[in-house]
Structure 1
Amino acid sequence: MLQLNGNWDNYGKFRDFEVNVIVVDENASYSILISTIAEQLSIDTSEKIIEIKYMVNDNCPPMEIRNDMGVHVYMETKKENKNLGSYPLCISVRDFNIELTITNGNTSAGSSGSLQLLDMPSSPAIEEYQSEIITESTQTAIEEGQVYQDKQTVAAAMKHFSVMHKFQFRVKRSSHRSYWLVCVGENCKWHFKAMSINDSTMFKIRSFNRQHTCSVMDEIFIQRKCTAAVVGSMVIPKYCDPKTIYTPKDIQIDMLSEHRVNLSYMQAWRAKEKVLQFLRGNPTDSYNKLPKYFYILEETYPGSVVKLKKTADECFLYAFVALCTSIIGWQHCRPVVVVDGAFLKSSYKGIMLTASPMDAVSKKCTILPLAYAVVDSENDAFWKWFFEQFKQAYGERPSMCVVSDRNESILKKGHLQLYELYFATTRSYTLDEFNERMSKIEEVDSRVKSYLYDIGYHRWSRVHAIVNRTWTMTSNIAESLNAATKDARELPIFDLLEYMRTLLECWTNEKLLKAKGTFTFLESKFNKELENNRTLSQKLRGRASTYHIHTVLDGVKWYIVCLENKKCSCGQFQLEELLCAHALAALRHMNETYKNYCSPYYTRESLLRTYKIPVNSLPDESKWNVP
């Protein structure tokens, strides 16, 4: 599928495009792909330049196809998902740059006042070239006249080229000024010559005869030339997304089926390590980037709280990030914060801590990361430091509650009856309900009741809680965030922190769009809950005792509703801060709207305010201006 006549936005998304389709053989070259697109779209390639890009995933910038290798990588990626709409090619068309070239020659100035051009003697020390400087070692469309950034890039590109085309060469001459290759076949005319440009580091291909007059197949050479660096360069796209699972065994299978190269497991493992080192860099260097990274965070997001703590000998201890967008948005969330930690799996071990609240869509654990930190180990000192930074960023709010589950679970899912009984008990609305369910737990296992009593009912029971926790009775929010970052926790610390920032950027944008697409007073989940209660209330009868106090008959039980205090004897109204069926039945006798009796944290307006400030993208690392 082709997407054309669109534009790239600041988030790396191709917008406002038209759609077309083409059919291309999977072994097509770059020139064939260009000509096919040009023919389908009626583009004159003598006047226009066609740029082709595609998105691998939301976490990577667009990849551009510039040569045969680019086409090959795209075709391999496309094999993973052959649906028509997957990995569409985003087509941009621009005019050739018009360059004025002045050649040596005499032009006399006539009466018209035309400008006289003087002969400039050509200098052997200066050579003009208009070729694009190639920096990628995966370049496979190799032609005379191409300019490479250095000799190492030329040599790597030729190794890659020889593996792809399955032939053997030998180095005839190599120095800081020249790189000359010939075929190993006796009397074969194939040769390649590249020379330094005016003794600079750049190399230009002077001569390239690609026609072999020998048998080019050489399986031994193919095996020998498939170094970890060469194989790694061929599988880079597989590792752009941290969530991708692509094992050394997968590399072995693909190299054998696609290139007839039989790698050992160790060779494939080294290739994977080369790719990861190329994409992620050295773990030690990653720590060294943090001071610059934190400076850019503070410059890009004024009002953020970012802290980096080291030992006296400059060894890393803690890193903490709370972006201003979350700090502002949290004012519109219920002050219930879930904290948790998860082990890092990179070369340097540690723990990542997170703090997340309940927003207006969080009845099912929608996540807004308030703060995230990386510490070297888990102990009382690091928890104290984490909460000190959190308090500095967010301060304190009335009825604030912190939920944590850093120890083993109270109950295991293996005992299903106890598991279900326990969570039913945590959600009890009244003391009578709670005591009844605790008696059932005691019947199953009396030790569990004793354990729950010893740790304190207020720590896990909604009806005993010191502050109102509504639906936040477990640390599922934090556990969901840990699951979302499972693969990212294998990254070096710089990449991990940046992954968290981009995750927050994406989620903030998604939730803002969701809020804008909500047209009810309450967010959709709470609106649905209210409608369910409204349906139940249709079967209930009530009478007014006073203006605010009503008695409602539900079956054979009477419930007392106080609308002024937003309470019901069933317990649901005050604990969930949403009108229960009894309260809705009482409200029918009042000339008031339900909007006055729901928590403001559940409203569409609250959701809009939570995510109204976007998490803007950071500038490219090459453009960081750090004093």
Structure 2
Amino acid sequence: MTLQRVKLLFNGRWDENSQYHDFRDCDAYIPSNSSFQQFVEYIQGKLFPSGELTISRLIMYWIGSSNSNLISIVEDKYILWLMLMLPDSPEIDLCVVVDHVSSVAQNSQNTLYLNNESTNIDQSFKHPAGNNEIVDSQDFDVFQSGIPIRVGLPFSSKSVLKKAIYFLALKNSFELTTTRSNKTSFEIHCKDMSCGWYLRASVYRGGGVWIVQKFIDNHKCCIDIVKDGHRQATSWIVAECTKGTSESSYIGLPPFSTALIENNPGTYTTQEFDDEGRFKYYFIALAASIDAWKFCFPIMSVDGACLKNNFMGTLFSACTLEGNSQIVPLAFVVVNYENDASWSWFFRNLKAIFGDSNDHVIMSDGHKSIAKGVSSVYDFAEHELCAFICIKTLLRTISHVQL
């Protein structure tokens, strides 16, 4: 029979913040396959063998954590969960608080274990939305500002857990550093090592569910550590944040443009609709790209790529090279169709922002609409074909010709 060490806290007091103070503690070794009733009876015999006091409530409690949502132990599944969690808590920060009443109260209820109601107690392993037991990716659609993380909260995978943590960091503008990340455990803390913010989670043994074991949500770092550069804003997180339907993406373009210009002064955007109010073109050039143009070679490379969303369309782009021969993106356009009209509209906006001069060269493949657009819009800029594309086309053409 395998025994599991369980740290018991008792004879203490609760404060208004769900913190347990002035308690006594002892270790109990309980069979890991115990049922709920066996678990209660063992603790009763361990702490109150004479029967003068009776257990009224057992509560899972993490020492050093906020414990804003405590979990009351009320049936077998909680004992199973506890026995799975404890081996992964080597510091014994996961404890069981034993609330008790006098034998008179016990006799009046005629039960060994009183399931008292409390506003601070969670009666099940529910996630913040309250409709499932495990937090999954779709829950971010409900909690758009982020999942409220707490100790004991289960996540369907490690990636969902990390997403919740990174969303929290982005929302509150602080940076995190991962200290441990493997197949069974994940630890992360504030970038400022003197700050107490800390989270540890581990995976269920033999399963893919991740549980938050310890969470200290208390920042004490200095102001220069609280960053708005968003180190956690990786391409993966940005992609997660921008998920949505094709319809919502197009409908959201006007407020997106407004927010972009407010946060990036000097950014240029414009949009065009057809006679029936349907989307035609959308143009965007960031302020950083506009400012960088004066330090780059006066050569623009333009190209188009097919979009594969529900509405199809084409993405136009323009880029150049800076002094260190690094690519600098200049502008992007989404159009409904790639034709003479859409390319001309693109070039008119490019000319309005980046100008037109004798030194200006626009380089592209051999698409006829590009050549027509450049000749109809620009007065001085020259249009040239990309040598690489020309050679590639030539080789493909003569590959079957025997010389």
Scaled by the length of structure 1, the TM-score of the pair is 0.25
More strand by share: 2
